């Protein structure tokens, strides 16, 4: 059982990392971004592009400490983040901003984000094909903990980065002036404007933040599993479930939601076939919707 809980924490941390950017945008712009998963995929593939470019640089080929990936992968985070941020702001300006300015129903923006998702996935398929890719080849080192718990060393890295990202975004939102303005915008966009806050610039900043988190999630997800064009899309449903559990716009809620889902999914395998894991996540989500529709930390 302890073993399953540890695996659940790993899975939950990955879900949490993927869902912070999603809940942030949901809280601030009301958009339930269906392209979020495919933006994660783009982040992962952009890093792949740079990893292969860096493969000619000898000293970047050394593995980072005990992990499976090399310094090239670590360095590739930077261009992945830059391009992911640029892409997010580009989509905002060409799709969501015009829709918001015409006062479109939130479902219209949601449908538009489905279109964006397909375009991004189509591009990934066209450029990289349907086959699987890996950042680095070779064995993935394992670590053996007491109680027969086996973890990949990479997973420890992922858990640390996920929690650090949650903590950093949480601190930013509660302490930094910009973070407070983003929360103000989520609360009441018109009052934010009246107070002199340039709301469009704030929304661009929010996409910048989301784009950064998306790229980090994408590369880490790529390290954890492998790169394939559907990776982000398939990942999307648990992310939706996590942010609904956590409550609209809540960073700590996304972490709590991710952990609950991760642990519940893994623990359920003690009784159910592992293929039922996603269904367990949905049933928890639906129960939450019925009994606590504002989420764990949702505002009353």
Q: Where does this chain bind another protein (CB under 8 A)?
A: 32, 34, 95, 98-99, 102, 104-108, 110-112, 114-123, 125-126, 129-130, 177, 180-181, 183-184, 186-188, 190-199, 229, 233-234, 236-237, 240-241, 244, 273, 275-276, 278-279, 281-283, 285-286, 289-290, 293, 299
* Residue placing its CB nearer to another protein in the complex, 118 or 163: 118
CB of 115 to another protein, least distance (A): 3
CB of 183 to another protein, least distance (A): 6
CB of 205 to another protein, least distance (A): 13
Place of tokens 């984000």: 113
In angstroms, the CA 165 to CA 163 distance is 5
Phi and psi dihedrals of 108, rounded to 5? Answer: -65, -45
Closest by CA position to 22, among listed 240, 229, 200: 240
Q: Is 70 helix (H, G, I), strand (E, B) or coil?
A: strand
In angstroms, the CA 290 to CA 278 distance is 19
List, as one string, the DSSP characters of 35-63. Answer: THHHHHHHHHHHHHHHHHHHTTSGGGGSB
CB of 43 to another protein, least distance (A): 18
CB of 5 to another protein, least distance (A): 23
CB of 181 to another protein, least distance (A): 6
* Residue placing its CB nearer to another protein in the complex, 44 or 223: 44
* Residue placing its CB nearer to another protein in the complex, 112 or 159: 112
CB 135 within 8 A of CB 47: yes
CB of 267 to another protein, least distance (A): 17
* Residue placing its CB nearer to another protein in the complex, 267 or 283: 283
For residue 234, give Cα distances in angstroms to 52, 101, 157, 186, 280: 25, 31, 23, 28, 16
* Residue placing its CB nearer to another protein in the complex, 136 or 199: 199
CB 40 within 8 A of CB 266: no
* Residue placing its CB nearer to another protein in the complex, 150 or 299: 299
* Residue placing its CB nearer to another protein in the complex, 38 or 155: 38
CB of 274 to another protein, least distance (A): 10
* Residue placing its CB nearer to another protein in the complex, 179 or 218: 179
Alpha helices in the chain (DSSP H): 2-29, 36-54, 71-91, 97-101, 106-128, 153-175, 177-187, 189-194, 199-224, 231-246, 251-268, 277-291
Q: How many residues does the chain have?
A: 300
Residues whose CB falls within 8 Å of the CB of residue 263, separated by 6 or more in sequence, listed in order? 4, 5, 8, 9, 11, 12
In angstroms, the CA 11 to CA 20 distance is 15
């Amino acid at each position: 059982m302890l073993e399953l809980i540890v695996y659940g924490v790993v899975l939950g941390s990955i879900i949490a990392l993927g869902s912070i950017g999603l809940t942030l945008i949901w809280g601030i712009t009301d958009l339930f971004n269906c392209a979020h998963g495919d933006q994660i995929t783009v982040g992962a593939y952009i890093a792949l592009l740079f990893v292969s470019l860096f493969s000619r640089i000898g000293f970047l080929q050394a593995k980072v400490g005990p992990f499976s990936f090399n310094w090239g992968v670590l360095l590739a985070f930077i261009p992945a983040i830059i391009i992911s941020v640029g892409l997010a702001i580009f989509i905002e300006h060409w799709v969501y901003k015009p829709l918001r300015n015409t006062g479109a129903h939130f479902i219209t923006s949601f449908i538009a984000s489905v279109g964006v998702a397909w375009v991004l996935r189509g591009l990934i398929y066209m450029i990289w094909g349907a086959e699987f890719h890996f950042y680095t080849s070779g064995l993935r080192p394992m670590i053996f903990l007491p109680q027969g718990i086996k973890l990949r060393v990479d997973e420890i890295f992922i858990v640390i980065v996920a929690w650090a990202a949650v903590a950093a975004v949480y601190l930013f939102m509660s302490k930094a002036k910009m973070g407070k303005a983003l929360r103000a915008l989520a609360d009441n966009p018109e009052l934010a404007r009246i107070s002199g806050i340039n709301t469009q610039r704030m929304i661009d900043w929010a996409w910048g933040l989301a784009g950064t988190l998306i790229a980090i999630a994408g590369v880490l997800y790529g390290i954890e599993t492998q790169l394939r064009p559907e990776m982000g899309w398939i990942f999307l449903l648990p992310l939706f479930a996590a942010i609904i559990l956590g409550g609209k716009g809540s960073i700590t809620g996304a972490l709590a939601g991710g952990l609950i889902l991760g642990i519940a999914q893994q623990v359920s395998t003690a009784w159910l076939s592992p293929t039922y894991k996603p269904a367990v996540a949905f049933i928890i989500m639906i129960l939450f919707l019925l009994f606590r529709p504002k989420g764990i930390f949702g505002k009353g």
